[in-house]
Structure 1
Amino acid sequence: VFHNKIEILPSHLLLCNKLRYLDLSNNDIRFIPPEIGVLQSLQYFSVSCNKIENIPDELFFCKKLQTVSENKLKQLNLNHEWTADKLRQKLQTNSNNRLELQLFMLSGLPDTIFEVTELQSLKLEIINNVTIPAAIVQLEDLQELSLYQCSLKIHSAATAFLKENLKVLRVKFDDGRELPQWMYVLRNLEELHLIGSLSSDASKNVTLDSLRELKALKSLTLKSNFTKIPQSIVDVASHLQRLCICNDGTKLENSSCKHLY
């Protein structure tokens, strides 16, 4: 049924309960009916190069479906739910006087984020197993990023963009997967805020690598529970204008504090 420019899924296809292969590529289909879930034998399903706005949850009732990417279909749903206009309605001015978008517990990152080009600050909370794509370079005004309990991968082009543009980074983490390794190369970063359990002992909990490359860092805030000042903090102490350690009641060894002076 591919390349016929059909706009509606033919209803007779839904009667083919033994259908295994369905290619609807290169048409003008906007809507997939929920009844598609009756095709329990379906193994291959393609809707590429259409105008699909919404994928029904019922499609995932097709337990034998293998070839189509479920993530791709869910991304379409996500983009449909979170239009650029809807995202713009959520913009607020944060304490740094930047236009901020906050997203909480989404199944992924809507591609439409990168259409909101006036965005200056992005806050993501409890969003896991997604990738920050190269499209982030479209957010030319983005200077602030907050990641609260997010495990994210990042495209190399996105790393290069953040390396040059990011001024403020906030990270709240429960384990090492939520502490981004690319933060150590953010040479223009001015503020770094870290919230989570850290240790100066590499064999325990989460440790900080050297912050030596953060040449522009002026302010470092740590809310943690270590007993010694990590060497990574000592590495940047000489050019910090502000250092704040909230140690959650854990006592710091006096000898470790001497290295800061």
Structure 2
Amino acid sequence: MSRLKGAEQRDSLAGFRADKKEPSIPSGLLRAARLSGQLNLSGRGLTEVPQDVYRLNTDPPQEAQQDVSFGSSHCWWEQTDLTKLLLSSNQLTQLSDDIRLLAALTTLDLHDNQLRSLPSALGELQELQQLRLSHNKLTSLPIEVCTLKNLCSITLQQNQLESLPDEMGHLEKLTHLDLSHNHLKELPMSLGHLGSLQKLNVCHNQLSCLPAGLAQLTNVKLLDLSNNQLTDIPASLSEMSALEQLYLRHNKLCVLPKLGAPTLKELYVGNNCIEEMRTEQLAPLTAISLLELRDNKIKILPEEISSLNTLTRLDLTNNDISTLPASLSLLPNLKVLLLEGNPLRGIRRDLLTKGTDVLLKYLRGRIKGDPESAEEGHTAMTLPSQARVNVHNIKTLKSLAYSEKQAVDIPDELFDAAADQGVTTVNFSKNQLTSIPPRLTELSASLSDINLAFNRLTCCSPDICKFLQLMHMDLRNNQLRDLPSEIKNLNKLRSITLNYNRFTWFPDVLYQMVSLETVLMGNNQVGEVDAHRLKMLVNLSTLDLSNNDLLNIPPEVGLCASLRCLGLEGNPFRTPRPAILAKGTEAVLEYLRSRIPK
């Protein structure tokens, strides 16, 4: 009986079972790879890399065993080494040491897999220039990767990295390093030795401080430190002499960093705890063009802000500012001033909704002796035509303006003058336009800000999807009822203003645009909002739905954790009650969360 019992435990069919079948790659694909040096196996559901791939350069191909005609246009003996291997979007959990057999690789793409570790043999790929490892499950990086002297770009975002090897500084040719969306609590000191680095992204980590060596990165143009735990930014960052864009959003900064980087053009410090701006913090910003201070606790703007002569965009959305200094109107290049969500007093509400030009004109009127009519005359920088093209603004400020003309179309002279000038801002507001000017697409490569407010637009052309650099769009006071689905391609769009239109629902396409931070839809006829889809807009901090036709507010709206300013006044719903709305956004969201069924 015991012998029979033991037999039951054994697999009686084991000898008849086939060995685990190795994934196969079509021979034609391998043959083409031998000729081109490139092999694309992305999205094939692979759980492991077939041996055929690793041994592509070492084993003779199948053709070598056959009677191959010497007249063939593709001869197996003319094969080239594999230099580019794409394995993205598979289910790879590991990489074999046999990767060393592909010593000629210059590009290895492994992003969007299930890798938890990397083999040390990766260090033998000394020709490697690009290594893509994003969207995996890596918790560490082998030291051997730091020996890849020719590596120019390594992308490691969306992993589970908790630390980096000190030897990272040995990658002397590295120009692009992306470490975003990991679990890093500190950066190695040796990072400062990456003398060729131009872009460094460490956003969405757990950094509480920065290494002193970071200041040695004198070639870095873009530094993204957003969504960390930073409470202070060392003044030594001013030594980063090439720095143009610095992102510090969503940290724990209490003061505006004092940064004197001579080339700093864009500074993003939104969603922190900054309460004041001092003269010594503003004075070093000699080249600043864009200053974002939204979602802080700033109460007072110093008069010295007028010294920022190069400033074109100032975002002060959702602060505690009650008064504006008249000197703000003296900023010669300021084109966009955002003040939504501030408890401003002494300034009529309608002035704030009429745009930057009107507000600055009002502030200038408070300065004695300011000749407001000086702008009305012709200057040497305008052309003698109806368009009155301001060539200076186009060439120097990269701004194309033709507003308050009550025009039904935009003169060709403007577009002719703006051709090949890299225009970034267009203001065609307060006219009689019924559609987006077709020639506007000629500026699509550089345009980041479009103002078409106060016109008669009844629809938004699908051509809007061509403006891939667009970050801000103002379409208020038109006759729009919907937005084209193509607008979802604008993955850099951060704010859209749709107040005073004819929307009866929240545009479906906006739910798909995760880059959005500000959506203003007050004074429409919106009847409902999808809270579950709204939660997907993880960057949305300002949402204005005031004066619409909302009969109820879904309690799940309270789960929109990123919201800092929610406008709901003037809707016919019964709850939340006006008394709760008056307490502000935080109280409204807390009330809504309490109503979610448990």
TM-score normalised by the chain length of structure 1: 0.52
Which residue in 1 is equivalent to 2:162?
A: 206
1:78 maps to a residue whose letter is E
Q: Is the 8 Å Cα contact of residues 88 and 116 (structure 1) preserved in structure 2? A: no
2:52 maps to a residue whose letter is T
Q: Deviations over 1:51-110 (max 9, x none)?
A: xxxxxxx826xxxxxxxxxxxx33xx325x22443345689x9xxxx8342344312111
Give, in angstroms, the shift of residue 128 of structure 1: 0.9
Identity %: 18
Instruction: Write out aligned runs for 1:117-196 (5 A).
Output: 117=57, 118-125=81-88, 126-133=91-98, 136-137=100-101, 139-148=102-111, 149=113, 150-154=115-119, 158-162=121-125, 164-177=126-139, 179-196=141-158
Give, in angstroms, the shift of residue 173 of structure 1: 4.5
Which residue in 1 is equivalent to 2:40?
A: 101
1:186 maps to a residue whose letter is L
SS at match of 2:29: helix
Give, in angstroms, the shift of residue 151 of structure 1: 3.3
Give, in angstroms, the shift of residue 188 of structure 1: 2.5
Which residue in 2 is equivalent to 1:217?
A: 174
2:46 maps to a residue whose letter is L
Partner residue of 2:22 out of 75, 78, 87: 78
1:247 maps to a residue whose letter is C
Give, in angstroms, the shift of residue 165 of structure 1: 1.7
Q: Deviations over 1:199-229 (max 9, x none)?
A: xxxxxx6222221221332332333367977
Q: Is the 8 Å Cα contact of residues 123 and 147 (structure 1) preserved in structure 2? A: yes
Q: Is the 8 Å Cα contact of residues 167 and 190 (structure 1) preserved in structure 2? A: yes
How far, CA to CA, are the matches of 1:221 and 1:130 in structure 2?
A: 21
TM-score normalised by the chain length of structure 2: 0.26
How far, CA to CA, are the matches of 1:166 and 1:143 in structure 2?
A: 4
SS at match of 1:216: coil
Instruction: Give the unaligned 5+ runs of structure 2.
Output: 1-6, 58-80, 205-225, 241-598
Give, in angstroms, the shift of residue 195 of structure 1: 0.7
Q: Is the 8 Å Cα contact of residues 117 and 138 (structure 2) preserved in structure 1? A: no
How far, CA to CA, are the matches of 1:227 and 1:112 in structure 2?
A: 37
How far, CA to CA, are the matches of 1:246 and 1:106 in structure 2?
A: 30
Partner residue of 2:200 out of 239, 244, 251: 244
Q: Please identify which structure carries the higher strand content.
A: 1
- Bigger Rg, structure 1 or 2: 2
SS at match of 1:192: strand
Q: Is the 8 Å Cα contact of residues 84 and 112 (structure 1) preserved in structure 2? A: no
How far, CA to CA, are the matches of 1:40 and 1:175 in structure 2?
A: 35
2:25 maps to a residue whose letter is W
Which residue in 1 is equivalent to 2:494?
A: none
SS at match of 2:174: coil
Compared CA separation, residues 235 and 246, structure 1 to 2 (3 A): closer
Quick one: higher RCO (CA 8 Å, sep 6+), 1 or 2? 1
Instruction: Give the unaligned 5+ runs of structure 1.
Output: 1-19, 21-38, 46-57, 61-72, 199-204
How far, CA to CA, are the matches of 1:111 and 1:166 in structure 2?
A: 20
Which residue in 2 is equivalent to 1:53?
A: none
Which residue in 2 is equivalent to 1:25?
A: none
How far, CA to CA, are the matches of 1:225 and 1:159 in structure 2?
A: 21
Task: Give yes or no for the alignment of 1:41 onto 2:12.
Answer: yes
Aligned residues: 179
